[in-house]
Amino acid sequence: MSHVIALVDDDRNILTSVSIALQSEGFVTRVYTDGDTALKAFAENPPDLGVFDIKMPRMDGMELLRRVREFSAVPVIFLTSKDDELDEALGLAMGADDYISKPFSQRLLLARIRAILRRQDLARSDGATPGAEPEQALMERGRLTMDPARHKVKWDGKDVTLTVTEFLILETLAQRPGVVKNRNQLLDVAYQDDVYVDDRTIDSHIKRIRRKFRAADPQFDAIDTLYGVGYRFEEKG
């Protein structure tokens, strides 16, 4: 059965172009030009994933997510202005699953949607039926704990909220502590499906990952930069 994607944006051009792109990849789409209409539809028949623009009149994406979270855990990707860190922090704290800054590549959005749906489908299978895909084991590296099946991260027992992209980058680094990964290797993991992204994008993600961990532990220094080479995770006891 095809996954249903709900698009909420007051820009009809974006709704049309993204809807066509998703439908061409086999998704079913529902489009809404305002938060009020979307909220009613989510309550009556929730989709598999929502893509919300943050800047909308009357009910913006943040308020829509807050109200949806009162009755549904449907994954949500936010579309937001470039480098708006305040929006990102608020959205993730409220339960958004990922962020994409405008202007964005439709191929990038498709890749992020697929990544989130893969994780959601795995979580739903969580031992429910014979032959289901086995649950991924917890990964523990010193003070770091990662639960891939549930997209959970802890540092010293404290929750750290990461986007799907950030999770994949950290997971790749932590799988082999001390081993250096260059930007291209991290890009291959974080941006699948042949999406073109500038390799310096990884630097921005690493900066945000560090900032989030330092909110839990101001002394966090487990991710090393090797200038001109790449990054590595150092297991801290």
Confidence of residue 9 (pLDDT cuts 50, 70, 90): very high
Domain boundaries in the chain? 4-124, 139-233
Percent of the chain at pLDDT exceeding 70: 83
Residue 189 in this model has a pLDDT that exceeds 80: no
> How many CA atoms lie less than 13 Å away from 153 in the CB half-sphere?
17
Class (C level, CATH) for 139-233: mainly alpha
Mean pLDDT value of segment 195-214: 79
Closest CA to 161 of 209, 204, 114, 104: 209
Among 27-36, 96-105, 191-200, the minimum mean pLDDT is found in 191-200
Q: Please, what is the average pLDDT of the chain?
A: 84
Confidence of residue 197 (pLDDT cuts 50, 70, 90): low
Helical residues (DSSP H) of the chain, grouped into ranges: 12-24, 35-44, 61-68, 85-94, 106-125, 164-175, 183-190, 201-216
Quick one: fold of 4-124? Answer: Rossmann fold (3.40.50)
The predicted structure's pLDDT at residue 94: 67
Contacts 24+ apart (CB under 8 A), 157-161: 158/216, 158/217, 159/216, 160/212, 160/213, 160/215, 160/216, 161/92, 161/93, 161/212
* Tens of pLDDT, residues 41-84: 999 999 999 999 988 888 999 999 999 989 988 999 998 875 55
CB count within 10 Å of CB 144 equals: 22
